[in-house]
Structure 1
Amino acid sequence: MAKRRPVKKKPARGAATQPPSVDAPMRIIGGRLKNKKIEYSGDTRTRPMKERVREAVFNLIGPSIKGKIAIDLFAGTGALGLEAISRGAIQAHLIERHVPTSKLIRNNAEALEITDLITIYAHNSFMWVKKELGKVARTPWVVFICPPYDFFVSRWEEMEKQMVTLLEAAPPESILIVEFDDQFDGAQLPDAENWDVRVYSPAHVGIYRLPSDEEAS
């Protein structure tokens, strides 16, 4: 990988200073399932990406989500994977180790009538990457890496290894999205200079786009 350099963090336009309450009603923001509700238990072990951040992320990805396979490694409510399907992803793998929460994702997928497009794993995401990633089709991926913020400190070695594995394994034209906060320095991301990092306080979102075969040659 290329030598790491400091990441320039770009402030997000119109980012609110205070995030909305996590127990606010959740919904799909865009695509064919727009405004459909997402059930959320309010469990403190789940940290859903704020709606304004989720909207910003999908606006940045734009229509390139269409035709890709979504992988959400710390799925929580499943909102990112469900949103990806709504916006044109052809399949989604959602990994959530907390069994009751993984069942909630199943309920949401059933309510949205998209269970045929969703595979849910009640599994540790680090082990899933080691054992299951190689089974995912070689269609370009969009990978969401949004763990508890503390993982970037308390489990950084595992996080780094996971991201390096994904960058090396992902098909051309794949996209990786990572979410962290101020306790982590984005300059530590693997191949750091190639991440587009935006700030939606308290969240920092990094987007990495793998080149096509033609661009890489």
Structure 2
Amino acid sequence: MRGRHIFYHGEAFTRPMKDSVRENLFNILGRAVRGAIAFDLFAGTGALAIESLSRGAVEAVAIEQSNRAAGHIRETAKALDIQSKLKVLVGDAFRWSETLLVAPDDPDDPKIGVPWIVFLSPPYVMWEEELDQLNSVINQVLRQAPPGSVLVAETEDTFDVTRLPPGEWDIRVYGNVQLAFIEPATQCGLRC
């Protein structure tokens, strides 16, 4: 979908990731995106979910609290003809995470073992005001995600990453943006 446009409403409540940062993010993720399910928890424009599909994700879920922003994501999905692969959910990302970011119970579920790419790119103020809830989502992903999964947290460069749950974080700084990558721990191909 290279070069195709995403509908952006231009409202101040959405802070789209700069193109150069997004390109670096996906270059770091590399092949991990292919065949994965992408979860864009604070979707805004839906660019991360859409880019994931463009780079080979089998499915993407975009969660956005604003009905208006969610409508623009749906418009983009329709224009790009990816409605069948992109699910847009409106509401609280924390609540949706409780039900979406869980390993399937059914042993015949075709999503068993399919890796996740989880994007945690909330408004920066939430890293101060809602840190416990954000860390709870991170911990849930680290416990529930299949091997090969990756979580990416976007913060301001001034955020102290030692406040994130313990783990082997890979931190990258691009101007005033900080990306923190972590994979669920694995041992002999299984979650610890």
TM-score (norm 2): 0.90
Which digits, 9 at most, give the CA deviation of each residue in 1:170-189, with x for residues without a partner? 11110110100134201111
Which digits, 9 at most, give the CA deviation of each residue in 1:30-56, with x for residues without a partner? xxx111111111111111111110000
Match of 1:68 in 2: 36
Q: 1:200 aligns with which of 151, 164, 174?
A: 174
For structure 1, the 5+ residue unaligned runs are 1-32
Match of 1:54 in 2: 22
1:83 is paired with a residue of what secondary structure?
helix
Task: Give the CA deviation at 1:212.
Answer: 5.1
1:115 is paired with a residue of what secondary structure?
coil
Match of 2:162 in 1: 187
Do structure 1's residue 124 and structure 2's residue 99 form an aligned pair? Answer: no
TM-score (norm 1): 0.80
Structure 2 CA distance for aligned equivalents of residues 209 and 133 of structure 1? 15
Count of residues in Structure 1 that have an aligned counterpart in Structure 2? 184
Match of 1:209 in 2: 183
Pick 1 or 2: higher relative contact order, CA cutoff 8 A, min separation 6.
1
Task: Give the CA deviation at 1:158.
Answer: 1.1
Provide the aligned C-alpha RMSD in A. 1.6
Is the contact between residue 172 and residue 213 of structure 1 (CA under 8 Å) also seen in structure 2? no
Task: Give the CA deviation at 1:215.
Answer: 4.5
Q: 2:116 aligns with which of 137, 141, 145?
A: 141
For structure 2, the 5+ residue unaligned runs are 105-110
Task: Give the CA deviation at 1:157.
Answer: 1.3
| Corresponding letter in the other structure for 1:114 | I
Structure 2 CA distance for aligned equivalents of residues 161 and 68 of structure 1? 22
State percent identity of aligned pairs.
36
| Corresponding letter in the other structure for 2:96 | W
Q: Please say which of residues 135-144 and 38-47 is displaced more in the overlay.
A: 135-144
